[in-house]
Copies of this chain bind each other. A is one copy, B any other.
Amino acid sequence: MRTTISIGSDLRIGGDTFAVLAGPCAVETRELLFAAADAVTAAGATMLRGGAFKPRTSPRSFQGLGEQGLELLREASQRTGLGVVTEVMDPRDVEVVAAHADVLQIGSRNMQNFPLLREVGRQSKPVLLKRAAAATIDELLHAAEYVTQEGNGDVMLCERGVRGFDPSTRYLLDLSAVPVLRERSPLPVVVDPSHGTGDARYVAAMARAAVAAGADALLIEVHAEPERALCDGRQALTPAAFANLSTELQQLARLMGRRWQFGNQKAAGAHAGRRSDPTIPTFDDEVIAP
């Protein structure tokens, strides 16, 4: 029996659903955020992602807009109707982030930040927990226990690439984590092909592969103008590329027997219904019968 997590009154992540959480790496300006938010909404995304508090390797890189970024995400959410997933890095910020976000993201670098895990475990908002770059599956599951032990059972487990040796990709996306996690845990499994590859050219292939491997959701970076992004622009899809990918993913998800979760079906437009074309059989259909 797989865990299903409710987002608002209508959406579900896990079970026989499929969700896409999309948006920019970081909240930069109102205009860029709204452009990305509108685009992913129209393309059928389930939730809006975007970072207000950014963990950056160097202290001299852009660190995010902080609380101002949270306000902009809230505005974008009201504008589009999509719920918001955003990262929290500091146990002292958990309350303010939880007041603005619908899902609390724990980043890869904080997977074993145990005080932080305990703090989000005391909130009533679902948690998206990203696997650390050198964590085993068992370490990820133990980290999830730090959250659930505090009373919050709504944890999604996110594969986002482990440290590999080949500079062809930024990280090595471990898609076998999907069936392994599904074997060991009932929690929903999310895949982030944007960080996992670090290269927009490979995101679509790995996003499709994640669906086919059995993932419950995807986390995908979309930026209105990737070449101008302050953070990880190289891995962000353009709105047009995301729209194409979303169409493919909807067909694949249907073939996998999944119900697509539209964050705003009306905004996703007349196409939304057609994309989940009922003429595509699912693996469960008796397609080989006469």
- Where the two chains meet, the residues of A that have a C-beta atom closer than 8 Å to any C-beta of B are 55-60, 89-92, 109-115, 132-134, 136-139, 142-143, 145-146, 149, 162-169, 172-180, 183, 196-197, 201-202, 205-206, 208-214, 247-248, 251-252, 255, 271, 274-275, 277, 279-281, 283, 287-290
Contact = CB atoms under 8 A, between A and B. Distances in A.
Nearest to A178: B205
Contacts of A290: 274
B134 A163 contact: yes
Contacts of A209: 175, 178, 209-210, 212-213
Contact of A133 (B134, B174, B196, B212): B134
A280 B280 contact: yes
B168 A136 contact: yes
A197 B178 CA distance: 12
A269 to B, nearest CB: 10
Given A136-B165, A251-B281, A280-B281, A90 B115 contact: yes
Contact of A113 (B110, B177, B255): B110
B59 A145 contact: yes
A133 B255 CA distance: 33
Nearest to A139: B57
Contact of A172 (B112, B176, B281): B176
Contact of A137 (B166, B205, B213): B166
B92 A91 contact: yes
Contacts of A213: 205-206, 208-209
A195 to B, nearest CB: 12
Given A57-B112, A109-B113, A136-B166, 13 more contacts: A55-B112, A55-B114, A56-B114, A57-B139, A57-B142, A89-B115, A92-B92, A163-B163, A176-B197, A205-B213, A208-B212, A208-B213, A251-B283
A92 B93 CA distance: 12
Given A136-B167, A275-B287, A112 B109 contact: yes
Nearest to A54: B114
22 contacts: A59-B145, A59-B146, A89-B113, A89-B115, A91-B92, A134-B162, A137-B166, A162-B165, A164-B174, A168-B176, A169-B180, A172-B174, A176-B197, A208-B212, A212-B212, A247-B283, A251-B281, A255-B255, A255-B280, A271-B288, A275-B287, A280-B287
A141 to B, nearest CB: 9
Contacts of A145: 58-60
Q: Which 7 A-B pairs have the closest CB atoms?
A: A134-B134, A212-B212, A109-B112, A179-B205, A134-B163, A90-B115, A209-B213
Contact of A149 (B59, B110, B162, B210): B59
A8 B165 CA distance: 38
Contacts of A280: 255, 280-281, 287
